[in-house]
Structure 1
Amino acid sequence: ILMRREVAVNHASYLQRYRNGKGGKVLDITRELEAVDRSGRVFPIELAINAVTVDGETKFSGVIRDISQRKEIDRLRKEFVSTVSHELRTPLTSIRGSLTLIDTLASEGLPPKVHNLLAMARNNTERLILLVNDILDFEKLHASKTQFFFEAIDLNGEVEKAVELTQGYAVDANVSLSMDLSPDAITISLDTGKFQQVLGNLISNAVKYSEKQGMVTLRTLVAGDHVRIEVEDRGSGIPESFRTRIFEPFSQADGSASRRKGGSGLGLNITRSLVEGMRGKIGFKSHEGAGTIFWIEFPLYEMQPVAVTEPEEVRDPGGLLGLHLEDDRDFHIILQSGMDGELELLQARTLAEARDLLDKYRFDIVIIDRIIRDGEGLDLIRSIPDPDQTKIVVVTATDENVQHLHVDETLIKSKTRPSEFASRFAKIVDEIKAARQADQTRSGPSVPVSPAASS
């Protein structure tokens, strides 16, 4: 009654497919759709459907929430961000350029008072530009619109570049920058631009809270299969009462001393999101009155190429075949080892490799990592020939619940231990086998699908 016609016509078939053991991917997730009231007005809703079995009969329940107000708030927020981007950033950039030009062309003929006013105007313009950029970065991260492009980089070289880029800011604050870099070359796979933004945020933050004539030190070191970057200041430290909120958006330490430093309170929140988006971790240790060390960790880059594994031509007819889109070889090995031979799991390190395998084989399950070097992992779903009949599980490094019609489950790396991954996928294998057995019981014995490459 409430659904639009093109959705409503499929309602009965959805229920029947579920009772036949097929489909069911719209259950236990929240979807956004459009509904129609009796006057014909179309409005946005959230729909959540659940199924329970009572006395051997399947019952369905649905919860519908009108989200018109939320959508209106989102619209206003997007308009505000658009205004910030165009109506503030563009003129601020022009103002900065004009002030720099005036200072360059007329620096000798201006009285000292005018020089001071120009310097004040430049400093305040830079503060406004930083604030606008923080708001825009926060919005993109909040909307999951930030894309990461990974490449192998020289870590020490990137740290040296970051120090060079922030040297002027440190000199203006009367703070020295020093480096304690690993003597060995370190290669990691990161988004260079995003990594420079992370280092710039951490360095400028350390400089801001350092005492005059203080020092900020950057270190790089290898710890096992990870690399750590530390940014240490000798400032006043982080108050104990503020440490649990330090990565929250728009948060700043209380007190007049902190307020005088300015800023949007978004820098560390953005930094954490960027670090986690590049499969890293961030943390800090601080002693009041003695300074703070912010650290970030990333996995070392595997220099040796890893070939795409191919299944044997003769497969166990009762076995299952899975595709694992994941560029972390160790994580793939952990997952594969927990299958005990019941699921042959092929690894693809890029979207291109995964699409090539989808052209060759029919998979029972596809496991997708969101953050892949050549694009967005979810884009692979469009290449799956029959997503309704394929178990699709998303594994993500960011704390999110992926809302996608064809995604059966989302697992968050930071909240799931390796043993839990193996246990969960073992259950999924059992579910696929049970569904396959039910299909064979209804339709009789079937011939297992062979890889196209060997047919």
Structure 2
Amino acid sequence: MNETKPSSDRGKIAKYLDTVDQRAADLYKNIGDKSLDQPKLALSYLAALANALEELRVVEEEICRHNEVLQQARQELENERHRYQELFDFAPDGYLVTDIHGKIHDANRAAAELLNVPQKYLSSKVLTNFVPEEQRRVFRSLLLQLRSIDRIQEWEISLLARSKPRFEAAITVVTVKDSKGKVIALRWLIRDITARKQMEAQLHQIQLQNLELIEADRVKAQFIATMSHELRTPLNAILGFSSLLLRHVQRRFEPQQFTMIERIFENGRHLLSLIDDVLDFSKLRSHQLELQLETFDLANLVVTTVEELKPLGAKKNLDLQVHLVQDHILVVNDRNRVRQIIVNLLSNAIKFTDEGQILIEVDLMPRAHLTITVRDTGIGIAEADLTFIFQEFRQANQTMTRSHGGTGLGLAITKALTELIGGNISVESELGQGSTFIVELPCQVQLSTRKKL
């Protein structure tokens, strides 16, 4: 069935009715003027009447069809209104419709829950009554401005619910205009943002605390650096004098006295090593440690460093071995920092190995890189401890390693130094099966490309 506009249907039906009415009037007039004794004339009148009745049937059908269309349109409008009402009532945010003065005409369930007033009782209430007294003047000014600006988006304001604490709300207001452009109503969307505001306040507090922690960390690093320098001066004097006594006046002391002086020297050197670790860690944390690049023979450095540490391993009957991929390996790096990495790894291996051997290997790799690998047959590291083995002030199995001493900074410093010179470090270990530390370094370090801590 072809659909036509209602106005077109009405015009067509009116035309049919006019035609039928005119024919009926003509028939009535003719009947009044003529005698029905003439059969032919009577038959023509009956035919005209039949035509008029047929026209009326057509008009009736058109009216029925038109009514069906109207009924269908009315049902669709009703369904649409019902869907809109459901969306309005069950929307998660509060929706209100008010007049231009803020008097409530309609409200959904969410709005009733926010304001803690039954939905049926919200009608005719003034929205200004739910605004705290100190904000009402601003709120009334807002209502006046809406007539010219048409819309306000996400305006944050406090609202007072009945018999409940005030809450923070974000309000969006849109004007409703008639066909002449006059504002006749206001539509409100109200969203409770109390939780969001609380989160923002907490985030702001956390940011302030972070700034305080950063400042405290800076002050701590400065204090550590100052104290480390202050401690090193008298400690170096103690080491110097005790070393002098050990070298030149050994025959003047009894063996027991000589042993005591030797202990002073060894403990002083150990204390100096701990202070150096703390100072290096402080410099690394504050990004104050600068590299001094030079060209040197890494193979020679490894052999020399191992020779220096062999007496430490000999005290535990450990066999220190070196395996080099070639006799001379020229690199561009910070010699002292590379040596510190090797010393830390070897010292750590010696500390946690009671028997067996320690092997250090140097291999060349593609893309101008090399690896320094330190393997030991020590106590090993549990799988659960591998995740934090390079964290500062942490040692695998704290109870066991207390007997070995140390600050827990050695591996953290090693990792930081390795990254400072553009490399990386990894570990492979199993509890009771020893450990393997692998350091990968570039053969030539460039200050512009080295990693930042």
TM-score by length of 1: 0.50
Q: Distance in 2 between matches of 1:86 and 1:124?
A: 18
Letter of the aligned partner of 1:80 in structure 2? F
Q: How does 1:331-346 map to 2 (within 5 A)?
A: none
Matched-pair contact (CA < 8 Å) for 2:341–2:414: yes
Partner of 1:385: none
Q: Deviation per CA, 1:379-431, whole angstroms, max 9, x where unpaired?
A: xxxxxxxxxxxxxxxx76235xxxxxxxxxxxxxxxxxxxxxxxxxxxxxxxx
Query: Which is strand-richer, 1 or 2?
Result: 1
Q: Does 1:93 align with 2:236?
A: yes
Letter in 2 for 1:145: Q
**Contact kept? 1:188, 1:298, Cα under 8 Å:** no
Structure 1 segment 205-244 matched on structure 2, within 5 A? 205-212=348-355, 214-225=356-367, 226-244=369-387
Work out which of the two has the higher radius of gyration on C-alpha atoms and give 1 or 2: 2
Q: Which residue of 2 aligns with 1:188?
A: 331
Residue 80 (structure 1) aligned with residue 223 (structure 2): yes
For residues 336-375 of structure 1, the aligned pairs below 5 Å read: 372-373=446-447
Alignment of 1:143-182 (within 5 A): 143-182=286-325
Paired residues, what number? 249
1:134 aligns to what SS in structure 2? Answer: helix
Q: Which has the higher contact order (CA 8 A, sep 6+)?
A: 1
Shift of 1:81: 1.5
Q: 1:131 aligns with which of 265, 270, 274?
A: 274
Per the alignment, residue 284 of structure 2 pairs with 141
What is residue 250 of structure 1 aligned with on the other side?
393
User: Does residue 398 in structure 1 map to residue 452 in structure 2?
Assistant: yes
* Unmatched 5+ stretches in structure 2: 1-199
Deviation per CA, 1:108-157: give whole Å up to 9, x if none.
23223222322322222122111111110001000011111333332212
Q: 1:75 to 1:246 in 2, by over 3 A?
A: closer
Higher helix share goes to which structure?
A: 2
- Which residue, out of 417, 429, 432, partners 1:289? 432
Q: CA RMSD in A?
A: 2.7
For the residues of structure 1 that align with 2:434 and 2:376, how far apart are their CA atoms? 5
Per-residue CA distance 1:76-135 (angstroms, 9 max, x = gap): 414522442232111111111111112222212322322232232222212211111111
- Distance in 1 (alpha carbons) for counterparts of 2:213 and 2:337: 31
Q: Distance in 2 between matches of 1:396 and 1:109?
A: 54
Contact kept in structure 1, 2:228 and 2:278, CA below 8 Å:
no
The answer to whether the 8 Å contact 2:381/2:431 transfers is: yes
Provide the identity percentage: 32
Q: Is the 8 A contact 2:300 2:328 kept in 1?
A: no
**Residue 269 in structure 1 maps to residue 412 in structure 2:** yes
Q: Distance in 1 between matches of 2:292 and 2:248?
A: 40
Report the Cα distance in structure 2 between the residues aligned to 1:121 and 1:286, rounded to whole angstroms.
36
TM-score (norm 2): 0.50
The whole-number CA distance in structure 2 between the counterparts of 1:106 and 1:154 is 39
Q: Residues of 2 paired with 1:396 and 1:186: CA distance?
A: 21
After TM superposition, the structure 1 stretch with the greater mean CA deviation from structure 2, 233-242 or 74-83, is 74-83
Contact 2:293 2:334 in 1 (8 A): yes
CA distance in structure 2 between the aligned counterparts of 1:256 and 1:244, rounded to whole angstroms: 18
